[in-house]
Amino acid sequence: MLYRIEQDADQTESRSELYLTGDWHLGKTPAASELIAALPAQCREIILNTGELKQWDSSLAVMLLQLTRHCEQHDIQLDLQQTSESLRELLKLATSIPPYQSTEADNKSSLRQKIIKALRVLGQSVEVTLGFIGEVAIAFGNWVRGNAKTRRQDILFFVEQSGPRALAIVTLIALLVGMILAYLGSVQLRQLGAQVYVADLVAIGMVREMGALMTAVIMAGRTGAAYAAQLGTMQVNEEIDALKTMGISTMEFLVLPRLIALVLVMPLLCIYADAIGIVGGAIVATSMDVNFLQYILQTQGAVDWVDISVGLSKSIFFGILIALAGCQAGIYCGRNSDAVGMAATNAVVRAIVYLVVADAAFNILYDKMGI
């Protein structure tokens, strides 16, 4: 036992003496609630005595603070005259500033309120996204007219970051996608004895669809996430605040260079991916049923400029979507390290949803237009 409670014999039981004894070390002491429960119910005055106390650490002060608060709440007098001075000093420091009182109303809300709140949040995010697109469009207009604070070296920097440095991963993925398409086609077309059309399948598949989509998915994961993390960290470091107070538009200075760089780079990467994909297809097809010359001739016949421009138009649009998703997540990032991680996740998830929806829309549109 590290404490002892003695009643004043001659009086009624309203006054108790609380003796603290022995060594008080963190983890080996009674909880304050236990001590409080041991006090007599009708106790109105407590005299604390630490004369028999040996060594102690803050566990004693923890208990004392709880006891003080309990006494305040229940109108009990606490006499600390017979305690050590340093303990009193520590207690004085802990109680000199009153506890913060929460002013917020109770957070409990009904299901209906929750649904309304969720809908409102969704509405706000749509509003924010539209507003962001609008601001980027205005900034772009300024840039075209030549009076935006966009620096050319920034654009070149981001072109280098997102273009040449992404070539290795684009090569790998495009080659494999081309090979997969060729395998898939060969197995199916062999049943019809039309193996030579593997070349058409790979060429059309890569040029109209997979080249643009696969590079976009790579760039969403690689560059979109990087944009969100860069801008998010700038938000955390107050760099974005610094730009705003210098009168520099974050849209023109931060978002536009990234957007323009992606729009310039995406079609180039897309063409490159198309070519690599066709090479991948050729590797598989020539190892199976088709000879190389046949494959080349068949590819030439299958693809025309319309197909290429379909792919390119998609890739440019995908570039815009990736940059918008990444930059928006970064610019509206919260102010702590957790928020930066969330912004990066958000950027990739949004970009991929945008990409797939946009790709489907493009295909329906081109089908209706007959190209």
The count of C-alpha atoms lying within 13 angstroms of the C-alpha of 111, restricted to the half-sphere facing its C-beta, is 0
Please pick, from the candidates 9, 11, 12, 27, the single residue that binds other proteins as defined by CB under 8 A: 27
Please pick, from the candidates 9, 97, 246, 293, the single residue that binds other proteins as defined by CB under 8 A: 97
Contact of 351 with 251, CB cutoff 8 Å = no
Binding mask 316-335 for other proteins (x = CB under 8 A): ------------------xx
Please pick, from the candidates 336, 353, 361, 371, the single residue that binds other proteins as defined by CB under 8 A: 336
Burial (CB count <10 Å: 0-12, 13-18, 19+), residue 33: exposed
Tell me how far, at minimum, the Cβ of 31 lies from other proteins, in Å.
Answer: 5
- Scanning residues 102 to 141, which ones bind other proteins (CB under 8 A)? 102
Tell me how far, at minimum, the Cβ of 69 lies from other proteins, in Å.
Answer: 9
The verdict on 338 binding other proteins (CB under 8 A) reads yes
The verdict on 237 binding other proteins (CB under 8 A) reads no
Say how many C-beta atoms besides its own lie within 10 A of residue 252's C-beta: 22
Give the 3-state secondary structure of residue 151: coil
Tokens 């991680």 belong to residue = 341
Tell me how far, at minimum, the Cβ of 312 lies from other proteins, in Å.
Answer: 43
The Cα 318–Cα 213 span in angstroms is 8
Total residues at the site for other proteins (CB under 8 A)? 33
SS3 content of the chain, % helix, strand, coil (to 5): 70, 10, 20
Tell me how far, at minimum, the Cβ of 9 lies from other proteins, in Å.
Answer: 32
- Scanning residues 30 to 59, which ones bind other proteins (CB under 8 A)? 31-33, 57-59
The verdict on 86 binding other proteins (CB under 8 A) reads yes
Binding mask 339-368 for other proteins (x = CB under 8 A): x-----------------------------
Query: Nearest Cα to 91, choosing from 55, 120, 62, 113?
Result: 62
The verdict on 66 binding other proteins (CB under 8 A) reads yes
Q: Which is nearer to other proteins, 31 or 130 (CB)?
A: 31
Burial (CB count <10 Å: 0-12, 13-18, 19+), residue 192: exposed
Tell me how far, at minimum, the Cβ of 20 lies from other proteins, in Å.
Answer: 15
Q: What backbone torsions phi and psi does residue 4 show, to the nearest 5 degrees?
A: -145, 130
Strand 15-20, strand 3-7: pairing: antiparallel
Contact of 322 with 216, CB cutoff 8 Å = yes
The Cα 76–Cα 153 span in angstroms is 72
The Cα 159–Cα 88 span in angstroms is 65
Tell me how far, at minimum, the Cβ of 194 lies from other proteins, in Å.
Answer: 58
Q: Which is nearer to other proteins, 190 or 335 (CB)?
A: 335
The Cα 109–Cα 193 span in angstroms is 67
Which range, of 92-100, 156-164, 205-213, 277-285, touches other proteins by CB under 8 A?
Answer: 92-100
Please pick, from the candidates 61, 177, 269, 347, the single residue that binds other proteins as defined by CB under 8 A: 61
Please pick, from the candidates 99, 193, 247, 370, the single residue that binds other proteins as defined by CB under 8 A: 99
Tell me how far, at minimum, the Cβ of 342 lies from other proteins, in Å.
Answer: 10
Residues interacting with other proteins, by CB under 8 A? 26-27, 31-33, 57-59, 61-63, 65-66, 86-87, 89-90, 93-102, 334-339
